[in-house]
Structure 1
């Protein structure tokens, strides 16, 4: 029906699967309706164990539009693949998997959706061990389960997991999914389906008429008494022929499966053993089941032709597929339609209720407390099916009540047929009255009142349901269910779908938060965190904190939107530039542009003022934001020149040239007598030795030669 492609959502950067209807089927209204229903139903369900639907649309094709569904992309294996490749699961593993399936089904049922095609191929185990229920292609709303999606009285589903009521062409409800879940659990635990046959029809017949072999008794099962009781009680309760005898809801079944996975006795097993004694006494009293069996005989007879027609050859059930059994074949099931439907349903219920299982007082060891014991073929007793069982290598014994059942069955068929005919004729006349078929008008984008009026004028009953919609304005009609242009009987109740507007929420501010904090905030806002988290170095945001987010804070987006975050990995390592010898301002600019903080320490130096004498970690790699310390010259020192032999009149000039910045008052003179007239006025000594580094305004004293005759 469709092809699935792996794709990438470029807007949100996530992997998705695109399920696209085959172009050759896109022109078929039936397939279009099923495809639309799958998208609509799955989009309503937001549960971790159900494959999510993100979007729907259609793409142009040479011969027309081709619809598609954008879904969550799941990596893993289906239960069918696992059983085929690895065989049966351990009892605890099977129970753990099916408990999650039942949790998903309960959520779906609470949302008003029944799956109708639960089977191993529609349940996937992801690479992380999560359970995902897929393919709501034939799912229906509970409120609409009585209407057929295709032809009248057709059976839609996979025969190996089809509930008896579905096989009869009756409406399915949540308990039909529970029956299918029981079949899947049976297969996971034993490695084989509960029923086998040459064709979908023959397998469906067994679902209606036969009791499955208790899973604990399947060859190769090696279970303790407690394990056998737990497995059989859960499986056979879920697979009861009558929906009223099954679990009330999927949550009850999930509870028992979880108890089993933890090696606890299921609650149903306790009731199973307590009720066995009281049921056994009543189930075989003379006449207690005769009426039921007789009433069901007509349905059994009708099904015999279909069961007996199963030919030899390869097993059909090697590769079971979801299928549609036409009404002509469906009529062969016990109780398919009309009077035979009522009688067959009663017969099937009677056959089911006639069996009582007792794990404490079972005399013949076959888990059936039935007074007949095993015959040489391994059968407990004839279950009333009148067809050739040579294929199954056992032969039913004839029972004394069989002729009576046949007579009663024929009478039931005749009586039921008469009353059914009277019910569909006009005042007992000769012509059956057929309801007028009317096309549903297209009311999309019309005001609610206008759309409702148009539908009522067309002869329909109208119920209104509001739904969020991304494109259609609040109060406008989205469409109808069934969809526009479908032909239905006048007077049918049509569901008018009215837009309540987009369900939107504000994106919270995630900046500066940790991933865990962001996840909690998004959950409160009914949003989700994208699993693909980006990372980026940041000088301002600490490591592990969020730098940016998409969509940004304050954006209004649809509920369920995934928000992508960028998380800081801390500052980036950068090489410290070489700035020694530069002026301090130039050095500061170079360092700060590289992302460093600058600390300046001024020191005494003969170098010009403002010149960088050294820089810490120069040439090394450091995280951005690190502090670099610069030693910068104050320019407040000079190197003392040699003044000896200089004329005193030249001393001041010599000091100034060397960098001294003192004033004449700071140059002091001492005299020293000399007999040598040639050395008069020369510097004999200086208070600061030549070559010594001193401050530029230091006081300096020089000793100068003088000639004095007098001492």
Structure 2
């Protein structure tokens, strides 16, 4: 679909094909500006003319760009480029530039068979961490499946391809596209199969299917068509994993079956809850789920619902006892109440004095972390400092002409900010001054070339008018530095511009044939003039020439030779 050596957006070199799905084709690429490998996803040409799919593809870039977490494949850039399809048609195709992950996807890892329970739990914990992060950002993935879960060569888990994700707030969004384009029916939730509105619990159902497959090597439901599989998701109970693999523990059985409940109200309600129970099952303990009845009883009723506490019973007896003789018909005398009120005011004043004078003002709760000043530290030093505070460092490259390459420019949240443990902190690492590749401005007008250079943050220097045989008057011949050279942003580029003239050399003494070739190569109109006043010589050397030096392009040159 695309030239494997094509450069997108002036910086992304497209390389070998990695894979393709229902919506797009993915290539390995190189960010020539930062010198790092990337993955380039390009919308399939068959969908490029469909405005619905183009919009869905753009939504993917918008949704994924909001995700910045170690367990999620990052999106660096997006845009559109005019590309040539296999049939020679020129189309404007959207593309997305993503983090390149070296490793295998979970589908490839599961090809030989199921995983051990411990490894399946480890992978699922990371997947659920990614979903917890995305759900907090208001994004439902909608397409959780093994092919979208990467395991790096170092064993790190990364969830990718938020290709059909949409904001949770878009409550009218339903799945109405074919499974060939938007996902795989084997991992659909019942609500997706029925075309109902989805929410975060939809992803948890799909995650349960993935956990089932990791433990058994098979998905719970199969069929000849997507409709047949979708029907089973809605109506058929799943076989417990242990029936297919006796090595699956009872705790994991229980976890998987709860995650795959048809009624989403009976599933895990959050990714964090699901992850905590996976940890319980991985330790070999039997998980105990709180039912809706347990919650209601614990919140709204006492034992039996009719018994009174001792204090309540005593008060009731006192209120009902008519034999008690009251010795005072009105409240205690006013001085008693005044004393009680005075004591209360003193106690409150003492408490406030203790809080604001004796207690240090800079005490921070144990559940709060303060972002340290990391500016000027190396990436490794900054990461270690954040890890000691139970914070997650997310390194991001940024160009800077002021901060030394390889050191921290700033953090987000900023220094001094208070955050919770395990918060992701964006750490911006300097890659040095920005670099720009000199564009091809040859044969452009001076105005057009200047605009192209200015757009890239470059400055036009001297403009020299020089002779050139072929470049039209006023057009750029070349520049210094030359086209294709990488230079720091803000650099000055000198231009050489054609003055519409050509430097005509002196060819007197050259043979007629050589002289004619030299002048013709300069796009000059050569006329041969025989001179019968002088004797003919071998090679017919030129004895006269009408013009020489700087002359208008295409001038006529008469050269004379002896013919007597």
Normalised by the length of structure 2, the TM-score is: 0.50
Normalised by the length of structure 1, the TM-score is: 0.40
**Which has the larger Rg?**
1
